[in-house]
A and B are shown apart, each in its own frame.
Chain A
């Protein structure tokens, strides 16, 4: 192990060679585009680095077959800044700002594999382009919304929050476009317990009561809600569509759509109560059947 590695500050990391290669490719691209690279040790080949600090392959597993959720990305730390330092560095012009932006870029890129681990492996071909796109977009948005940072959390957490919003919005959009929703449907939170949906052989009376209740609720939905509210409820309730996509179709945004749905639900509940139906009791009746 050369002295060079020992001189780099930072704790020991576990990283797969595969993930390192991905990172190395990104470094190469950055270099081509004239951006600063992160550390001199990337010049060495992965084989050289395989058993040397700071790359510690998790023992008992083959490199490349590691579960990506267990990879710990920890590249040597850049200058640590307080919230105020971040703000002042990003607000000044020149080299200080450039250095801060580069550090921020690295921080975002380091966080994204954790954020996206549920949906995308760092080894997948989409990951590289998505990370690049999201990082760029996040930096622009951070600079644009710098004045809105209130300092209630760490600056980097605030930046990660923005990066996640951009990344997941993009990912959901792409997945919806590609109609490869299998994974998303698998991950989808099931709002209704399967017991309710499955046919549990109810008695004819129970079945008739349930049908009657459903017809009443259906009538209330048709009568009480506006066309827009009804459309929104159906889109999100049945088709498993991401909220961003539903919002786009209704020519609105996610926040306004949530408010629209909330208003619709309140209206429905009030109307059902006015008709002498308690929501909780109705739902319990469904559960019994």
Chain B
């Protein structure tokens, strides 16, 4: 590890271009970071994980509601959905969050089940 650092820093001295030097330093930094991750026992970025991240990026909007904001509105949303209103188009931000946040969607589905249960009785 230190040998690599030594060689790279030697390279930096030889190269006059500042841009190249910066890139080399960045490489050194990333190398050290990756070593620390290895020591910590953190998993590497597998192909599968990168693909998952990319998929999530596709459905990421610039403006999204947070979990707390959705929690504050979800009871009203569930009741409107229960009444048969087209909530997905009326409140697209909530719908989008529920589509992308597993935890919030589970809680919403649970609330719907309670409302359906109490209505069926």
The residue from B26, B33, B57 contacting A268, defined by CB atoms under 8 A apart = B57
Task: Give A261 Cβ to nearest chain B Cβ, in Å.
Answer: 9
B:98-118 near A, CB below 8 Å? 101-103, 105-107, 109-111, 113-118
Q: Are A157 and B52 in contact (CB under 8 A)?
A: no
A:262-279 near B, CB below 8 Å? 262, 265-266, 268-269, 272, 279
Q: Does B45 contact A (CB under 8 A)?
A: yes
Q: Are A118 and B110 in contact (CB under 8 A)?
A: yes
Task: Give B111 Cβ to nearest chain A Cβ, in Å.
Answer: 6
B:66-80 near A, CB below 8 Å? 66-68, 71, 73-76, 78-79
Q: Are A214 and B111 in contact (CB under 8 A)?
A: no
A:85-113 near B, CB below 8 Å? 110-111
Q: Which residues of B contact A244 (CB under 8 A)?
A: 103
Q: Scoring B residues 52 to 93 as 1 if CB is less than 8 Å from chain A, else 0, what string do you get?
A: 111111101010101110010111101100000000000000
Other 13 A-B pairs with CB < 8 A, given A114-B113, A262-B66? A74-B121, A115-B110, A118-B106, A153-B79, A160-B115, A218-B45, A237-B52, A237-B56, A265-B56, A269-B57, A269-B60, A279-B54, A283-B58
- Assess A192 versus B51: contact at CB under 8 Å? Given A222-B30, A255-B67: yes
Q: Which residues of A contact B57 (CB under 8 A)?
A: 265, 268-269, 272, 279, 283
Q: Which residues of A contact B42 (CB under 8 A)?
A: 231, 234
Q: Are B30 and A153 in contact (CB under 8 A)?
A: no
The residues of B with any CB-CB pair to A shorter than 8 Å are: 26, 30, 33-34, 42-43, 45-58, 60, 62, 64, 66-68, 71, 73-76, 78-79, 101-103, 105-107, 109-111, 113-118, 120-121
Q: Are B52 and A192 in contact (CB under 8 A)?
A: yes
The residue from A165, A189, A283 contacting B102, defined by CB atoms under 8 A apart = A189
Return 11 A-B CB contacts under 8 Å, by A number. A73-B117, A118-B113, A160-B114, A191-B52, A217-B50, A221-B45, A222-B33, A243-B67, A243-B103, A258-B66, A279-B54
A:153-175 near B, CB below 8 Å? 153-154, 157-158, 160-161, 164-165, 167-168, 172
